Structure 1
Amino acid sequence: MRKSYSFLLLTLFFSMNLLAQSAIQNALSSHGFEKVLIEEEAELIWVFFEHRNFRNPAESMAFASKIIRAHTDKFLVFIPVFHNRPMGKYFGKEFLFKEIDKSDRQLFFQGTATPYRFNLRLMPDITAQFGFLENPLATRTNLIVDTRIYLARGLALHTGMTVPLVNSLDKRDVRPHLSPTHFSYFLSFNSRHFFLLQAGTFFSDRYGGDFQYRYSPLSSAFSMGVSTSLTGYYLQSWNALRIGGIKLPTWNFDISYAIGRLGLDIQLRVGQFLYGDKGGRLDLIRQYGNVDFGLHYSYTTLDQGIGAQVAFPLFPGKLFRSKHVELRATEEFRWEYQYRPNYPKAAKDFRTGTPRLDNVLRQYRSAFIQGIR
């Protein structure tokens, strides 16, 4: 009789835990969280998640805390996910950091996390040139409607449509056409080593392949990275595709140091840029929550110049959301202006459609998260 009574109590305890986990999971999912997995212990809850409306995981963890506190007061350990891979463990009011380990990855990969939604993203694509006598500000503005389809762990297809809106810059076709389309593969080890490999078509009218590696301990202020690409020129229009040959490769090495309490990142990069010029670039990037603002100076074999950049999520983020589909504004709109007196193409890069590793990992660094909270 006592054994039966103990068994019933044990069954009731586990049933209540499962109900609580399910309620938290459903609440987070209804607010846009994806890949949600809740694992509960006696006084501890592990929360795996991804939320693509936020650039900075500190903002998403603060949002998740408010939702979960309506269901439990247990100690929370957050493990944010990027491209279906856990990044690190954050806990406490300041989201203190601890590296991910093998058991944490197994817990996530063997668990049953909520799926990704079919996520449609609206993103403006703006190209501008200043200084023409007849047209002081010439612009080409497109609206990109794209999506990322996850095919396997870390592997995704990025594609969509480009809708031209305004073009006073050149004579390109103003009818909708396929936007930059590429495969990307993201790999991470122990919150220290990160790889990103991409192949397909990119912005700046480039096609080919791009490889990035970064040694970036998320608990450290120091990081370094290498990247290389091999691309050619292409021009996509409504009914035609022009493809040029593969050009010079690019290669870059950079070192970066974060002053977390100031939200400041100092980055020095040297290498060969898109048009074959060799040289370096110094960036000072200040982080304000979800917004990055930066100033830079570059010097290459073609020219020298100064410039500024800004990256921020477009308000209001979510436009429509159901259980399986979401329409949203981009989580990162990045705009950069460079002034070069002699050769505008000096120290040029191209965008792939997925933020570069240094811009992604900067958001996860514990120094930045503690510095901006």
Structure 2
Amino acid sequence: MSRTPAPLSLARRWMLACCALAGMLLDAGIAQAATAADSAVADTSLARALVQAGFENVAAERSEGQLRVALENRRYRYSATAFGIASRLAAEPSVLFERRLGLVAAAAVYDTGGEGRAAVYYPSDGSYPAAPREPKLASTQKSLDLVIRPLFTYELGRLFDPVQVRLEIMPELRYNPWPGGRIRAGLVFPIRNDFDTDSLHPDLNRIRPGPVLLEQFAWAPGAALVSGTAGLLGNNRYGLSVGVARPLSGGRFLVDGQMDITGFVAFTDSGTTASTPSLWTGFAGVTYRPRVLDLAIRARVARFLYGDKGVELELKRSMGDLDVAFYVQRTQDVDPFTVTGVRVAVPIPPATRPVGPPVRVLPVERFSLSYADEAAPVGRYVGEVASREDYLRQLNPPSLADKADRFRGAVQPKTDTHPTWGRASMSGMTGFVNTPWCGTIGDRDLEVGYNTIPKAVAYDHRGQFRNDVYYAALGFMPHFEAGLRWTVIPGLKSFGELVPNSKLTDSDRMLSARVELVAPRVNRPGLAIGIEDARGTRRFHSTYVVTGIPMDIYQLQNRMSLGYAPHIFTASRHVLDGLFGAVEVLPWRFVALALENDTQKWNGLAGFEVGLGLRVRVALLDLERADSKRVSLGAGWSHSL
């Protein structure tokens, strides 16, 4: 009598699939390690020189008259720097392979004497060259990392708790036991927490495990980069995650997909609480990188962590090792949500990191921070899982071309011809006093600062409260300036007429942008269009077109502008409304004097460069009624990324 076997549960099928995938990864890794030409001759002197320069997992050989070098770079911040040092030591054209976690990630072919763009090949390409064979010098398997990582969470805008902050420190051990593998184990120590515990995070205020997991990367030759993660993940989840990515067109496109099956886990006062892994999440997407910039345009369709499904579009610019990304999500669960926000990844010193000791104690490489205009738990991914996109970071032609100066070993003069006039105005974008300039801040230039507008000339609640402006102006791309601004109105409480005990100081967050259509040059006019306070209530809104010209008169740098601000969008207030104009003179290199009409009043400003990128400004707003109550002060700090 035969018995029909019971059907496998979904979880068991997933486990079997993961085991099969692990076997495929192992076979692929063995096959990849075995690909080497029998006629290859090791170049041990070059390999030792590369180890002395700070590289690990080093191998160098000559095969069929071609020099091939493989190395892992955990010392220098940029792959382009590592390739440049290797090319200098090789002193001849060569094929350079960068390993990551002991696994070859990509091959970049450089001509050390030419100015051509780098050609990047991946193991998933049919034309991928054979990497140098074993043995490897200075193996990363002999080194253990202790990484100190800050965890920062915040929320703004609650009536009775206007600013909530959670700060934690997580020491994390990282070890690379075999090619492509990494073991991570972290422990979270709370420092400050203003949030209440809830069903999603019931173990706040406790010392608890962070990510405790195994990551594995492997190339399926001629197919794709595959990753797997198993263990305690982020967001109080545990389980499995598997992803597949395929670079196309030499790295200009990346097709990436991921699936996770996780359960809830928490480490509360009453013990460990866990649920069976049954929640399926994941995404599928494609990233495009234009040839001219280290810019990534990514579109995804996703099933998010807390039950919502939707799409996401992200525009990310890498400036040096700083990443700035603007994104928008459209998700749907019970109710639809549209979420816009900014993601920033800031590099943490030291830029050159030690290698060689058996134990390295270091801060995390980069600190990530994000802002979203929606506090509800929507549009969230499972955290702390292996990312194919991060694994291939900087290993694509646009990124390497953007850092070509680092490859050559010396920083070249910037081709950006923007003059030093590109300083922020009282509005937080480059300009004069309140009116904009027809140019933009330099590509990859950043200015952050603060201005205070007295209540006598404030735009919001004039005569009652002053306006404090916190701003950031960024050259996100050549000829494109993005502005982030937070206007705080001290003394005014949000919803105070409805909630008398409100503690929330009224504020307004805004996003602005300007496009330089014709770049201004000395004695040649420029043209730009822009929008300020682009969405939301538009309490400080303007749309405008502006032209202007810089001039040298009697050896003085001068500039003049003329613009018009029409009504295009419905807004609570139009700050610029009609015709405006300005003139500026630089009597000395470090002093600027400006006079303008901002469609409502005449204003004057004196700006001073005090060194180290610091700028201070003093403005007299509404000159026809000039008195001490109309004096505005501000300061900013600028830096080229």
| TM bin (shorter chain) | 0.7 to 0.9
Deviation at 1:296, TM superposition (A): 0.4
Is 2:175 the counterpart of 1:153?
no
Residue 58 of structure 1 aligns with which residue? 80
Provide structure 1 residue ranges, at least 5 long, that are not aligned to the other structure.
1-13
The letter for the 1-side match of 2:289 is: A
The letter for the 2-side match of 1:92 is: D
Is 1:250–1:273's contact at 8 Å kept on the other side of the alignment? yes
Is 2:372 the counterpart of 1:338?
yes
In the superposition, the TM-score normalised over structure 1's length comes to 0.82
Is 2:80 the counterpart of 1:96?
no
**Aligned with 2:51 (options 26, 37, 58):** 26
Is 2:77 the counterpart of 1:79?
no
Is 1:281–1:297's contact at 8 Å kept on the other side of the alignment? yes
The 2-side partners of 1:164 and 1:311 are apart by 22
The 2-side partners of 1:56 and 1:212 are apart by 25
Q: Secondary structure at the match of 1:180?
A: strand
Matches within 5 A, 1:342-361: 344-352=376-384, 354=386, 356-361=387-392
Residues 27-66 of structure 1: CA distance to partner in whole angstroms, max 9, x if unpaired?
13xx3x221223256975432112235564224323x34x
Q: Secondary structure at the match of 2:381?
A: coil
The 2-side partners of 1:368 and 1:192 are apart by 23
Change (3 A) 1:359 1:323: closer
Change (3 A) 1:333 1:52: farther
Is 2:209 the counterpart of 1:178?
yes
The 2-side partners of 1:228 and 1:292 are apart by 25
In the superposition, the TM-score normalised over structure 2's length comes to 0.50
Deviation at 1:113, TM superposition (A): 3.2
Percent of pairs identical after alignment?
20
Higher mean alpha-carbon deviation, 217-226 vs 315-324, is at 315-324
Is 2:260–2:281's contact at 8 Å kept on the other side of the alignment? yes
Residue 297 of structure 1 aligns with which residue? 328
Higher mean alpha-carbon deviation, 86-95 vs 157-166, is at 86-95
Change (3 A) 1:186 1:98: closer
Deviation at 1:24, TM superposition (A): 0.7
Residue 46 of structure 1 aligns with which residue? 68
Residue 257 of structure 1 aligns with which residue? 288
The 1-side partners of 2:390 and 2:291 are apart by 15
Is 2:229–2:385's contact at 8 Å kept on the other side of the alignment? no
The 2-side partners of 1:299 and 1:80 are apart by 37
Is 1:182–1:202's contact at 8 Å kept on the other side of the alignment? yes
Residues 47-101 of structure 1: CA distance to partner in whole angstroms, max 9, x if unpaired?
2112235564224323x34xx73x5523343210122211222223554323456
The 1-side partners of 2:306 and 2:64 are apart by 59
The 1-side partners of 2:153 and 2:312 are apart by 21
Residue 228 of structure 1 aligns with which residue? 259
Q: Secondary structure at the match of 1:316?
A: coil
Change (3 A) 1:42 1:73: farther
Residues 134-164 of structure 1: CA distance to partner in whole angstroms, max 9, x if unpaired?
3222121122221222233222221122222
Deviation at 1:307, TM superposition (A): 0.5
The letter for the 1-side match of 2:240 is: G
**Aligned with 1:325 (options 347, 355, 359):** 359
The 1-side partners of 2:365 and 2:76 are apart by 6
Provide structure 2 residue ranges, at least 5 long, that are not aligned to the other structure.
1-40, 198-202, 405-641
Change (3 A) 1:53 1:236: farther
Residue 200 of structure 1 aligns with which residue? 231
Residues 181-225 of structure 1: CA distance to partner in whole angstroms, max 9, x if unpaired?
111111114586111110111111111111111111371422212
Change (3 A) 1:166 1:92: farther
The 1-side partners of 2:225 and 2:82 are apart by 22
Q: Secondary structure at the match of 1:81?
A: strand
Residue 10 of structure 1 aligns with which residue? none
Which structure has the highest helix share of the two? 1
Is 1:234–1:241's contact at 8 Å kept on the other side of the alignment? yes
Residue 111 of structure 1 aligns with which residue? 135
Deviation at 1:311, TM superposition (A): 1.7
The 1-side partners of 2:403 and 2:249 are apart by 15
Residue 243 of structure 1 aligns with which residue? 274
* Number of residue pairs the alignment of both structures matches: 346
Deviation at 1:257, TM superposition (A): 1.1
The 1-side partners of 2:295 and 2:382 are apart by 24
Residues 99-134 of structure 1: CA distance to partner in whole angstroms, max 9, x if unpaired?
4567624x33x3233211212212211121111223
The 2-side partners of 1:151 and 1:329 are apart by 21
Deviation at 1:327, TM superposition (A): 1.8
Residue 6 of structure 1 aligns with which residue? none
Is 2:306 the counterpart of 1:275?
yes
Change (3 A) 1:53 1:181: farther
